[in-house]
Each structure stands twice: as structure tokens, then as C-alpha cells.
Structure 1
Amino acid sequence: MNTAALREQIQLAHQHEDRTGQLIRQLEQQLPHLHPTIRLPAQDAQGVLARFVGAYIDHVPDLLDAANAVAREAGIESQIKPVLKIAEDYFLHPPKIMEGHVGLDSLLDEAYLAHRLVEEVNDLYIRHFAQQLIPLDTTTANLIAHQLIGEQFANELDAVVHHSVDNMLSDESFALESVEQYRAALASPSTTDAWRRWPCLSQQLGVELGL
């Protein structure tokens, strides 16, 4: 994983935002049209939303590093890593559909793909281990990002995610002896206690959904 390159690209996007204020202007235009389930504080709603987008993007390198590390411990790095590389490559080599997108606006789309990929792999882990791959709850944050990106394009990104996971991971990937050993380790109380320290990403950033 070349997450150092991702971190550099994210830093450059933040610098671009500091110079241009492009994202904050876009969010100002979106605020009146956000889905009513997205709950923001009464004061500084635009600032809270901008910080949400920034942190959502900033989490991606740590997310990919953590997912890869846990998959390596589980003995299925060879199955998981190609999926994570898709998210990494999406940052480093954006497809043509991203032409014209710059700064944090562009990276929000790419971050959504990365978060959704890990969310789908998490679902597989829950099915096989009754435990997530990594204990960061991004479900609500992903729904909020989906709204900010826009229904049509976000659905296209979701289709990329499903195609990638379906083609690279199967039930057989979780039937290895090393996976069985890892499954036993998951029952450790220390593992459970460590995972409790990870908060829900959206709550941490002050943005929630009222469903």
C-alpha cells in the first residue's frame, strides 16, 4: 500500500482549499438542498459540513492501512489487498469521469469509493466472523457523503464497489486454516476492548442522519 502518496495528495488538496475556498462555496450552495434526514448544528452548519468532508477524506489512508494490517493478521491479505489497491489507485490515477474535479471536491468522490469498499469488506467479515474488519463505523458517514456527491454519480461509484468485491472476494477466501485461527483470536476480551475505542465517524464529526 502506498498510502504515503495518498497523504501527500490529500495535503495538497487541503492547501488548494485554503487558497481557493472552492469546497466551502460548493457546500454553501448545497446546504438548502440537502436531504432533510441530514442533521447539522444550527450554528456554523456550513463549517461543520466542510470539516466533515475534510475529515472523511483524511481518514482514508489510515482506513486502508488498518484494513490491510488486519487482513494480514487474518491470513487473507492476498485476497483483501487487491480490493484495497482499487481505492488507492482511484486516488493516484483517477478515471476520466473525474476530469474537471479538483481539490477536496475531487477527493470526496475518491474517499467515498475507499470508504464504501471497506464497508463492503466489513460486511463480509461480519458474515464470517461476527466481527468487522476494522471497528470504525462509517455507514452513516457514507450515506451523508452519498448525498453530497449526488445520487447518480454516487450510485455509479457503488456499482464499481460491488463489482470489485464480487470479483475478488468469495466465501472460499474465508475458508483457509489461517482464517480459522484468526477467528479464534477474535474472541479475546482485549480485542473487544480495543475496538470499543473507535467512535462512529459521523457522530465524531458532528453530522448525523435522522431516520
Structure 2
Amino acid sequence: MKTAALREQIQRAHQHEQATGQLLTHLEGQLAGLHPSIRFSENDPKAALARFVSAYIEQVPDLLDAAAQVAAEAGIEGQVKPVLKIAEEYFFTPPRIMDGHQGLDCLLDEAYLAHRLVEEVNDLYIRHFSQPLIPLDTTVANLIAHQLIGESFANQLDEVVHHSVDSLLDEDSFQLESVQAYKDKLTAPETGAAWKRWPCLSRQLGIGLGVA
């Protein structure tokens, strides 16, 4: 995994933000249109959103490193690595629809692609194995990121994710004998124990959903 280079890219995006304030300007424009169910744990929503975006982006290399190590230890690299590689390539070779995007704004889009990819793949594994491939639940965070990105463009990014998942997995993929045998590894206690060593994957981002 090229997570060191990814962290450098994130650092450069932070420097761009310090110089331009581009993300804060964007977030300020989004505040009035946020869904009323979005709740903040502090009194400065714009600052809370900025911290949320930073944590959401910075969680991606943490996730890639953790998942790669767990996959190696648990013997499930064949299933996990292709997902991680696509998530990583969203940053280094972004889809063409993201041309012209810069700084943390751009990385928010790319992080959304990565997190949504994991969410979609997890949904498929839960449907077939009653167990996620990567036990990280970012559903609420993804819904908030979707709002911040904007409905129209976020929907286009969702289409990119669906295309990626279709290229990785189809219904026949889960009928292979080798994949059925893999189910035992996915649910093995040692795999669960390996995941529990990575508490950063359940980091609290300070924003949630409540009753509108």
C-alpha cells in the first residue's frame, strides 16, 4: 500500500487549505442547506465540519494500513487487497469527473469514494456471509459527507463506486468453492481479535444524526 505517499498528499492539501481557506468557504456555504437531522457536539458548526472533513480524510490511510495488516495475518489478502487498491487509486488516479478539484475539497471527494467503496463491499459480504469484509461502519459519516459534497456530484461519485464494485464482484463470485471456504476465515476469532487492535477505525468524528 502507498499510504506514506497518501499521507503526504493529505499534508499538502492541509497546506493548500491554510493558504486559501477554500474548504472553510465551501463549508460556510453548505451550513444553511444541511439536513436538520445533522447534529453537532459543539457550538461552532463550521469548525466542527472542518474537523469532521479532516478526520474523514485522514481515516483513509489508517483504514488501508489496518486492513492490509489484518488481511495478511488472517490469510484473506486475496479478498481484501483488491478493494484496498481501488480505494487507494481513487487518490492517485482520480476519476475524470474530479478534474479541476483541489486541496481538501478534492480529498473529501476521494475519501468519500474510498469509504463508500468499503461500505458497498461490506453490504455485499453481509448479504452473502452475514459478516462484513472490513468491520468499519461509516454509514452515518458517509451520509454527512454526501451532504457536504452536494447531492448532484455525490450521486455521480456513487455511480463511480457502483462501477468499481461491479468490476470487483458479482453474484457468481460468491458461489465459488474457494470463496465459500474463505467464509470460515472471515468469521474466525483470530480475525476479529486482529481488528480490535485498531481502535482508530471507530474514531468519533463529533457529528451525528438525530431526529429532525
- TM-score when scaled to structure 1? 0.84
Contact 1:14 1:103 in 2 (8 A): yes
Contact 1:67 1:118 in 2 (8 A): no
1:57-96 pair list within 5 angstroms: 57-72=57-72, 75=75, 77-96=77-96
Q: Deviations over 1:62-104 (max 9, x none)?
A: 2223334444556553454333322222211223322221110
- 3-state DSSP of counterpart to 1:17: helix
Q: 1:24: which partner in 2?
A: 24
Matched AA of 2:60: V
1:122-137 pair list within 5 angstroms: 122-137=122-137
CA distance in structure 1 between the aligned counterparts of 2:177 and 2:74, rounded to whole angstroms: 10
CA distance in structure 1 between the aligned counterparts of 2:158 and 2:43, rounded to whole angstroms: 32
Q: 1:186: which partner in 2?
A: 187
Q: Deviations over 1:22-79 (max 9, x none)?
A: 2112111211111112112451111111000000000111222333444455655345
- TM-score when scaled to structure 2? 0.84
Residues matched between the structures, number: 210
Q: Deviations over 1:169-199 (max 9, x none)?
A: 1345444447625525624288269549748
Contact 1:79 1:168 in 2 (8 A): no
Task: Report the identity percentage.
Answer: 65
Gapped regions of structure 2 (runs ≥ 5): none
Matched AA of 1:58: E
**What is the root-mean-square deviation in Å for CA atoms of aligned residues?**
2.8
- The change in CA–CA distance for 1:189 and 1:4 in structure 2 (over 3 A counts) is closer
Contact 1:66 1:134 in 2 (8 A): no
- 3-state DSSP of counterpart to 1:204: coil
